[in-house]
Structure 1
């Protein structure tokens, strides 16, 4: 379990609105912590966290964050921990739901620029008409109506519909071409339908229990049951479109929600209604492989909903996918806010 919270030092505040731009909810609470209440803080590699922070902080369009980014860029790497401790304060944000941490990665698929008997499943760009509405055709309607055909919307064709489905869940990936080169694709939009978990559906049907379900288990089941498997994929009406982002160097991570490369085991996908994108976040993940480290909120995801819900980015390729697929752990995360924003949470008579 994560380290004990020293309640005598903590201040818990309920508020009728989120502090951040996207809206509010009455159940949200904010607890001010000190850095010595962060389990494992002293042992982390703060220099690596500072490097990840600098990847995206220059894009933050806010005076407080811009000033902090300028100071971060001027820091010696050996002063990283002191920088975070001097200019930020830890704030635990909770909405009543238990913490849940999962993983994601950049998958690599086999594909081609042209369709063939092997490469039959298209990776689509967002159609122009889908940009004009908040909700377009469902996955089933889109794939069975013929509306996408003959319009030149294909970026490439891949050889596995199950891997394509999981590419949509991850939101980015690489497509390895027959000549050894690759195409990198990133999130290009969605049809506006709510994401439904096919893993949860398998549990509901009694095929697996919650502790058995992983991406690898789901893939094997769909492949063993092609007809029922195709129907299972249709259970999720959400459909993700892509754009080609091959300008991103192969050595860098895929683009996150901030349109910058994410960093292996330093980037988090969060719910931006609670945690501002670009903010440092202290992660205390429990489970079989506990994790205590300073991450940066640089991505989002359709399944990431809640103040204590996040995805850890594990990197690219099959090995990263195996590790990411195993992760489903409790714990807590604490956002580091600029001092003035953190203390704005305090009551006037504090």
Structure 2
């Protein structure tokens, strides 16, 4: 009896271990430019703008500090030298651009526990119709950041918590959770009057929250660009999952377009479904060449990539090899750069392609749900032994 019980317990333990998924762990493998699918076929001229924008931020960093916890990334001084030299490269000389990256960088394949494949989705700059005053049909508020919202990057307090964040308000000396999306959209919070703009469609407002930016065509004929100003600290939840649970969509049919169609066709249930995502984004008016990414610079269509910053640093060039968005498309093989993040972007191999603004961008972003992989470009000679322990400690945290 005792032996039988022991065998049973051992069997249950092994079964439990077998079904437990591995925690994410960054794997980096040195490669060669010849191994990058499509390298040499990408017109790097349109990449120069995106790279220069990241360089503007990089040049302001402390030269002595490491660029990342990844040892191959080197230090800020190395990146600053590369950025300075890049200024002399002509953007209209494809051969010179290709030669520059081959000279100053070495590719490394990024993987998660040795698996180089991951999910790549898309996002875009949304289009809305709005007004500065509430009047029909502009009755849906887009809120600006409230004065009492406290956003905390936990990595500022403990390095092992890098990439994690919370938000709330201080009550009696304690940081308490902020209101959920449902509470905010139903005016169950103290800042219902903190409205930036009023728009005419709750579904448009919801998807603008997901995209994090938008262009609003105002009722007076002007155009206002809005961007991310803060979030309520609640975890992002993809409502497509909820619609799959309900049986109205499947994993094969779920997309931004199919979700939008269902919400528009079921207005009596739309609010409840949208509120299953408790995350809420606050906006501000912005000016300039495009929406502002998490790196703090304007994004570049089809060159800016949202990544998980707890694994990869902003400003890192990444060569991507992604499956076609639709059957009629070609694989996406081009040089992109980590300049943004998002609530659903989690893991070492996870990307979100910024497609830009307009109907075509919305279509591509909505349909994109592709498998892909990428290679990071780190400076030649960027190995910094002083970062090795930091990287090991960092990986260990993600395995808890």
Q: Would you say the 8 A contact 1:271–1:305 is kept in 2?
A: yes
SS at 2:366 equivalent: helix
| Counterparts of 1:267 and 1:103, CA distance in 2 | 11
Match of 1:106 in 2: 125
* Per-residue Cα deviation, 1:290-323 (whole angstroms, up to 9, x for no partner): 1110011111111111111111111102221012
Indicate which of 327, 345, 349 corresponds to 1:304. Answer: 345
SS in 2 for 1:340: coil
Q: Which runs of 5+ in 2 are unaligned?
A: 1-22, 62-75, 152-166, 169-176, 389-400
Q: CA deviation at 1:202?
A: 0.9
Which stretch shows the higher mean deviation, 99-108 or 334-343? 334-343
Aligned: 1:253 with 2:290? yes
Instruction: Give yes or no for contact 1:222–1:228 (8 Å, CA) kept in 2.
Output: yes
SS where residue 355 of structure 2 aligns? Answer: strand
Of 46, 49, 62, 1:48 maps to 46
Q: Cα deviation per residue 1:92-120 (whole Å; 9 max; x = unaligned)?
A: 22224641111111011001010012100
Give the corresponding residue for 1:32.
Answer: 30
8 Å contact kept, 1:107–1:318: no
Aligned to 2:110: 93
Counterpart position of 2:67 = none
Contact 2:179–2:189 (CA under 8 A) maintained in structure 1: no
User: Could you report, residue by residue, the CA deviation over 1:109-164 in whole angstroms, capped at 9, with x for unpaired residues?
Assistant: 0010100121001111111222264541111122224325553x211100001110
> In the alignment, is residue 265 of structure 1 matched against residue 265 of structure 2?
no
Return closer, same or farther for 1:122/1:65 CA change in 2, 3 Å cut-off. Answer: same
Query: 1:197–1:236: 8 Å Cα contact kept in structure 2?
Result: yes
Is 1:316 the counterpart of 2:345 in the alignment? no
| TM-score (norm: length of structure 1) | 0.86
- Whether the 8 Å CA contact 1:111–1:158 is kept in 2: the answer is yes
Q: How does 1:56-205 map to 2 (within 5 A)?
A: 56-60=54-58, 61=61, 62-77=76-91, 78=93, 79-96=96-113, 98-131=117-150, 133-134=167-168, 135-149=177-191, 151=193, 153-205=194-246
Q: What CA deviation, in whole Å up to 9, does each residue of 1:173-198 have, x standing for no partner?
A: 11111122111110000001110000
| Closer, same or farther: CA 93–345 of 1 in aligned 2, 3 Å | farther
* Among candidates 375, 379, 382, match of residue 338 of structure 1: 379
* TM-superposed deviation, 1:43: 0.8
Q: Which has the larger radius of gyration?
A: 2
Structure 1 contact 58–66 (Cα < 8 Å) conserved: no
| 1:343 CA displacement | 7.4
Tell me the equivalent position of 1:224.
265
Distance 1:222 1:40, change over 3 A: same
Pick which of 55-64 and 183-192 moved more. 55-64
Match of 1:240 in 2: 281
Would you say the 8 A contact 1:47–1:81 is kept in 2? no
How much has 1:259 moved relative to structure 2?
2.3
In 1: Cα distance, 2:354 partner to 2:382 partner: 27
CA distance in 2, matches of 1:136, 1:145: 13
Query: Contact between 1:68 and 1:87, CA under 8 Å: does it hold in 2?
Result: yes
> Using a 3 Å threshold, how does the CA distance of structure 1 residues 261 and 26 change in structure 2: closer, same or farther?
closer
Using structure 2 for the length normalisation, give the TM-score.
0.75
How well do the aligned residues superpose, as a CA RMSD in angstroms?
A: 2.0
Q: Which residue of 2 aligns with 1:283?
A: 320
Distance 2:274 2:179 in 1: 15
Cα contact 1:89–1:342 (8 A) shared by 2: no
